[in-house]
Homo-oligomer: A and B are copies of this chain.
Amino acid sequence: MALTPARTMPGVLELLPLDQIAFQRMLDVIRRNYERFGFLPIETPVMEFSDVLLTKTGGETERQVYFVQSTGALNAEKGDGVPELALRFDLTVPLARYVAEHEHDLSFPFRRYQMQRVYRGERAQRGRFREFYQCDIDVIGKDSLSVRYDAEVPAVIYSVFRELNIGAFTIQLNNRKLMRGFFESLGVTDGEQQTLVLREVDKLDKRGADYVRDTLTGEAFALSTETAEKILAFVQTRSTSLQDAFAKLDALGPGPEAMEQGRAELKEVLGMIRDFGVPESHYLLNLSIARGLDYYTGTVYETTLNDHPQIGSICSGGRYENLAGQYTKSHLPGVGISIGLTRLYWQLRDAGLVGTAQSTVDVLVTQMDAAQLPAYLALASELRGAGIATEVVLEGGKLGKQFKYADRAGIRFVIVLGEDELAKGVVTVKDLRREDQFEVQRSELIKTLRVELAQAEVGA
């Protein structure tokens, strides 16, 4: 039989086991912190009905959707238009569908987390994934949702990224109402026009202030130099402390209602974030943050790594007016964030900020003598019973080769139990990380390993 080359599609990230362990640890940290803040897990099917999935979204998303057909459907429906099923492209639309479908079985405010893969049929290129994990939290209110929840979200972000331990980070906040009001005060009242202006302003870092000023005052926008300057000054606003944020918000001067509302919300949120225990060093006001303009309506967030600005936002989100208007008449405002973990992990690995993990296997029990296998198995049972992940060499072979296997597999502790050790009631432990070896009383083994493993965890 001719061999089929074993290969995966481009645009997916498949990991070797030790990398998978590193990735899994990040997932675990995120989940643990989401749960600590009282978010509840949900999972939704990877497929949704196409008409349910594609109610709201525009052409851009539709071009990126993966459609699904069973063999039967494929044969029956060929050429019949849009297939019945499609893969989710984010977790927000499935959440909207979930909340609308199960509305009467949920308690509001509904606090959910969801960590699943999503699918986008993008053109393959470096750093763009067709399959990637999103780790989302959202709080959904029924009819209304206090702006206080907007202050809780940064507390979750802080808690997650502190424990992920990938370097100093800053949570950056803005408010869409403030932005909208500010643009209105300058006579840029049309939402689409605001979007276009913001798209130009986004080029500030790459092209510089002169380029942006020229564009805004040029044919396409025809703004006055004064207006362009005001816009540039606005979007370059960053606070250095909570007091400074308040001062800079006040210094914007009076504006239309939307601006006043946005300013009041930002002040309440910024002040309350501190009450949630987030240090002032870890969040600031950044009036350039806009996010999806047609979706977010109030507070918006981005989070960046201080020493790696090139990575961009590692966690973004904001407040929206109505989650599921396409499915239900209920008014469901919410606030949430998303961590795109596949891309983040890939970037962190690229930047050398996460390495290959040590194995989840703590101990390898070697096989010196096949006749002693029952003793090795009994020892392994004991260790497993104490929660220590243990592999036993069942195949045998030279001891040197067994050590080599442990080393290559990233297993730290190797146990040797030979005739000598059995007679003396001891165990020889080889610590491959410290390149050290010691003998320990059999009765002390679990205690000793637990101490070593606990220390390693703290140190990691």
| Distance in angstroms between the alpha carbons of A78 and B79 in the assembled complex | 6
Query: A345-370: contact bitstring with B at CB < 8 Å (1 yes, 0 no)?
Result: 00000000000000111001000000
| Given the contacts A21-B41, A37-B389, A66-B70, A276 and B381 also touching, CB distance less than 8 Å | yes
- Shortest CB–CB separation between residue A65 and chain B, in angstroms? 6
Counting CB contacts under 8 A, is A327 at the interface? yes
Copies of this chain in the oligomer: 2
| Distance in angstroms between the alpha carbons of A388 and B33 in the assembled complex | 10
| Distance in angstroms between the alpha carbons of A395 and B364 in the assembled complex | 53
Within 8 A of B (CB), among A1-60: 1, 3-9, 12, 14-18, 20-21, 24, 35-38, 40-49, 51-52, 55
Q: CB within 8 A of A16: which of B18, B36, B106?
A: B106
Query: A266-292: contact bitstring with B at CB < 8 Å (1 yes, 0 no)?
Result: 000000100111000000000000000
Q: B74, A67: Cβ atoms under 8 Å?
A: yes
Residues of B within 8 A of A392 (CB): 38, 152
Q: B3, A326: Cβ atoms under 8 Å?
A: yes
| Given the contacts A4-B52, A38-B391, A277-B381, A74 and B70 also touching, CB distance less than 8 Å | no
Within 8 A of B (CB), among A364-420: 364, 373-374, 377-378, 381, 384, 387-392, 394-396, 405, 408-409
Q: B52, A146: Cβ atoms under 8 Å?
A: no
| Given the contacts A6-B324, A327-B4, A40 and B360 also touching, CB distance less than 8 Å | yes
Counting CB contacts under 8 A, is A203 at the interface? no
Q: A360, B409: Cβ atoms under 8 Å?
A: no
Query: A115-128: contact bitstring with B at CB < 8 Å (1 yes, 0 no)?
Result: 00101010000000
Residues of B within 8 A of A159 (CB): 384
Counting CB contacts under 8 A, is A102 at the interface? yes
- Chain A interface residue number, banded: 35 or more
Counting CB contacts under 8 A, is A437 at the interface? no
Counting CB contacts under 8 A, is A310 at the interface? no
Counting CB contacts under 8 A, is A253 at the interface? no
Q: B14, A44: Cβ atoms under 8 Å?
A: yes
| Given the contacts A37-B384, A46-B131, A408 and B107 also touching, CB distance less than 8 Å | yes
Segment at the interface with B among A93-101, A177-185, A212-220, A428-436: A93-101
| Given the contacts A3-B327, A4-B326, A112-B17, A361 and B70 also touching, CB distance less than 8 Å | no
Give chain A's interface residues, CB within 8 Å of chain B. 1, 3-9, 12, 14-18, 20-21, 24, 35-38, 40-49, 51-52, 55, 62-74, 78-79, 83, 85, 87, 96-98, 100-102, 105-107, 109, 111-112, 117, 119, 121, 131, 141, 145-146, 148-149, 152, 159, 272, 275-277, 324-329, 359-361, 364, 373-374, 377-378, 381, 384, 387-392, 394-396, 405, 408-409
